[in-house]
Amino acid sequence: MGTASQFRLRFPPEINKIQSRNWRLSPFFTSLLAVLLLAAALASAQTVERATLTGRVIDDESGRPVANFRVSIVKTSYKSGNRIWSEATTVNTDGDGQFTVPGLVPGQYLIRISPKDGGTLFKRFSEEEARRVDTDYEESFWPGGGDVESAAPILLTPGASVNAGTLKPRKGPYYRAVVMFAPANCDDATTGLTLRKSTQTGLGGIVQDVVPCGKNVLIGNLREGPYSLTVYQAAGMGLITKGSAVFEIRGANTTVPISLGQGVDVEGRVTAPEASAKPALENLKISVTPLVTLVFADEGKPVSPDATGKFRIPNVRAAAQEISVSGVPAPFYVKEIRYNGVALTGKRASVNTSTPVETLDVVIDDQPGTIAGTITDNDKPASGHVVLVKWPVSGEDLFVTLKNETGDRDGKFQFTGLAPGEYRLAAVAQSDKSKLDEPRVLERLLGSAERVNVERGAVRNVGLKLADPAR
């Protein structure tokens, strides 16, 4: 248990000199200065102590220390059911394979081992170079030595010094991909190229470079797994000519054909066939955004329908897209979204560029449903975090379509603007809210949650008990 800190305020000599002159600081300014000095002292006393992480890297096969080898210290957390990580710092091992990383903010950390070289781009290469298979250390996360999901994070508390033990990375094969870049639609001599792992989170890529448009290139140092490749260059009217390819490395080098081209145009319309009045559409916005990290300047821009409800979204690339509708005037709500005539269960649609035009229909209505209720804990009203989703829902759409509300001090909550259908909802304590981002926790909670059927314009009242998301 800590000891209470004591503070003694002492004015600097300059302040004493000022007070000794013919004019003096007023009592107000003297008090204000004392408060500011006290606040600074408190802030200094409350500065969080940093932590230190140490460890040693030895080669799994030879048992020898891996000297002057870069390791990454990454901070981990959860978001939308996945473990995510961000690099906190990097450090090189010494001659004995030892490393020490001081000054870390308390939290959960992993140690990432990665190949000495990232993806390597060859703009000129021979047939022999295209056939070569390289050897390097496999990407791994420690403690554990597997992927980021299976690793066991190290909790660093304030002032702690933790030894992560011995890391034993293994070497493995790294493959190469020949990008067969077709010369069609090359308006400029060069084009941008980005290669990413399909499972990658965050910005950036394994390879980001400018390459000759329409010329084959070679990418090396690729582990087995799925990848996404994108090429792009600016076109007229602010559009971007782009090409995408998804491929997988499976124990051998590969070739990846790709070319530049325009996407498809999406023709859409907003309708309200059952509404009792005509909706005002001037503030309504529709956007179609690719579900990838690399989003171009001409993608995801919201468009407005005209007076008849028609709209057009140009140059949409072949990819999974998230469809968003905002600015719907009260009391209207989005009842249904249909892509190419098929009703979506969530907000996700797959665009196919084999057709020049695809259709998007947004159906709105002015008779929304409502779910209201009260949260209790041990038969007493309790404020909590309430989650609601239209059922059934796919795992990939769960966090996209999820609605959230907070119960007031009396435990009361309300969801409005609901389309007809079945819903699942549950309540957890505010302190458990962050646990819903952990893998499979939300799916498990909603799988056995309260079921409510909502009809057009109906109000349903339910009672919820605080649930333990760990169960």
Q: Look up the CATH number of the domain holding residue 432.
A: 2.60.40.10
Q: How far apart are CA 283 and CA 337, in angstroms?
A: 18
Distances (CA, A) of 154 to 70, 85, 366: 19, 13, 52
470 found inside a domain: no
In the chain, the amino acid numbered 351 is V
Q: Which of 18-32, 154-168, 209-223 has the lowest mean pLDDT?
A: 18-32
Model pTM? Answer: 0.75
Q: Choose the final residue of a domain: 258, 284, 304.
A: 258
**272 and 229 share a domain?**
no
Burial of 269 (C-beta count, 10 Å sphere; 0-12/13-18/19+): middle
Residue 245 sits in the same domain as residue 229: yes
Domain match, 373 and 357 both: no
Same domain, 191 and 300: no
Residue 5 has pLDDT above 70, yes or no: no
Residues 340 and 239 in one domain: no
Per the domain annotation, does 307 fall within a domain?
yes
* Claim to verify: residue 306 and residue 195 sit in the same structural domain: no
pLDDT digits (tens, 9 = 90+) for 110-152: 999 988 766 789 999 999 999 999 999 998 999 999 988 899 9
Confidence of residue 18 (pLDDT cuts 50, 70, 90): very low
pLDDT in tens, 260-291: 888 889 999 999 999 999 999 999 999 999 88
Q: CA 350 to CA 348: how far, in whole Å?
A: 7
132 vs 220: CA distance, rounded Å: 9
* Cβ(250)–Cβ(225) below 8 Å: no
Write out the H or E segment, with its range, that includes residue 37: helix 27-45
Q: What is the count of structural domains for the chain? A: 4
Within a domain: 411: yes
Contact 137, 229 (CB under 8 A): no
| Residue 150 and residue 218 in one domain | no
Phi-psi region of 355 (alpha: psi -120 to 50; beta: other; left: phi over 0): beta
Tokens 């309300």: give the residue.
414
Same domain as 432, residue 378:
yes
Question: Do 196 and 273 belong to one domain?
Answer: no
Find the domain containing 437 and state its range: 369-465
Contacts of 418 (CB under 8 A, 6+ apart): 333, 368, 369, 370, 371, 390, 454
Q: Report yes or no: 258 and 229 within 8 Å, Cβ to Cβ.
A: yes
Does residue 45 lie in a domain region?
no
Percent of the chain residues topping a pLDDT of 90 = 66
| 1 in any annotated domain | no
Q: How far is CA 87 from CA 73, 134, 203, 452, in A?
A: 6, 26, 12, 43
pLDDT band at 8 (very low <50, low <70, confident <90, very high): very low
- Asked if 348 contacts 321 with a C-beta cutoff of 8 angstroms, the reply is yes
110 occurs within a structural domain: yes
Structural domain contains residue 79: yes
Interval 224-245 mean pLDDT = 81
Q: Which of 330, 365, 400 is the C-terminal boundary of a domain?
A: 365
The mean pLDDT of 243-271, rounded to a whole number, is 92
Q: Give 199-213 as a DSSP string.
A: T--SS--SEEEEEET
Q: Are 393 and 345 in contact (CB under 8 A)?
A: yes
Q: Cα dihedral sign for 393, 395, 401, 407?
A: positive
> Which range (115-129, 155-169, 404-418, 438-452) has the least confidence?
115-129
Which band of pLDDT confidence, cut at 50, 70 and 90, is reported for residue 237?
A: low
Helical H segments across 260-417, by residue range: 398-401
**Main-chain phi, psi angles of 29, to 5 degrees:** -70, -35
* Domain of residue 58, CATH code: 2.60.40.1120
Find out whether 292 and 263 touch, Cβ atoms under 8 Å. Answer: no
Q: What's the average model confidence in pLDDT over 165-187?
A: 93
Q: Mark whether 241 and 315 lie in a shared domain.
A: no
Q: Does 96 have pLDDT greater than 90?
A: yes
Answer yes or no: is 16 within a domain: no
Same domain as 84, residue 162: yes
Q: Which two tokens stand for residue 124?
A: 């000129």
Chain mean pLDDT for the chain: 87
Same domain for 314 and 207? no
Rounded-to-integer distance, Cα 71 and Cα 93, Å: 8
Residue where a domain stops, chosen among 258, 285, 316: 258
